[in-house]
Amino acid sequence: MYNTILFDLDGTLTDPGTGITNSVLYALKKFGIEVSDRSELFKFIGPPLMDAFSEYYGFSKEQSEKALMYYREYFSDKGIFENALYDGTKYMLNEIKSKGKNIILATSKPEEFAIRILKYFEIFDYFDFVAGASMDETRNQKEDVIKYALDGFGITDTSKVLMVGDRKHDVLGAKKFSIDSAGVLYGYGSEDELTNAGATYIVKKIEDILKLV
């Protein structure tokens, strides 16, 4: 049985689709790029943003750094709150906490943004530790964030840890530390993506997470 649950944020606890895509649209417009179908930008939800700008738009490192700066220009003021808590998130966190489990956030979103979001939705107090990316991008890969969470909370036995997330990055990051993972289908990753990455469990609805803990 798991005694510590690591949660991704975007696409797992909250639906950040509007804020993230608006921020990406804002950044791309600075480069003269217009995107007519917002859903094309959903792929930006999950992976480190500099990697996404590089992979999806062929940006150089310098261009990606500029794009990230523009992204944060919009996100830090408006995009961060163009966000919604998934129905059942508070209930699920409360139930896990009532079982005496440790709850840790492990997100590739910069830590200071993640903390603001948790406080905005009044779920910050459910978390025993918050691990996010660093603003200078030196800690932005999911495996780096997970290591930071494990070290920061003093976890050495990963057999009792479960990572919950909606993208392959969550699953692959967890595997680096022999951590079981639950891939959720209500977020932004597909069943194929999560299965192919090697998710231990596939979860359709947020309340189903409670069956695993």
For residue 101, pLDDT beyond 90:
yes
In Å, how far are 27, 57, 65 from 33, measured between CA atoms?
9, 10, 16
pLDDT at position 100, please?
97
Q: What is the pLDDT of residues 21-70, one digit of tens each?
A: 999 999 999 999 999 999 999 999 988 899 999 999 999 999 999 999 99
Q: What is the pLDDT of residues 130-189, one digit of tens each?
A: 999 998 888 889 999 999 999 999 999 999 999 999 999 999 999 999 999 999 999 999
pLDDT at position 140, please?
85
Annotation marks residue 15 as catalytic: no
Which of 8, 10, 144, 180 is catalytic? The answer is 8
What are the E-state strand segments in the chain? 4-7, 14-15, 84-85, 102-110, 129-133, 161-165, 180-184, 201-203
Q: Which of the four pLDDT bands, split at 50, 70 and 90, describes residue 7? A: very high
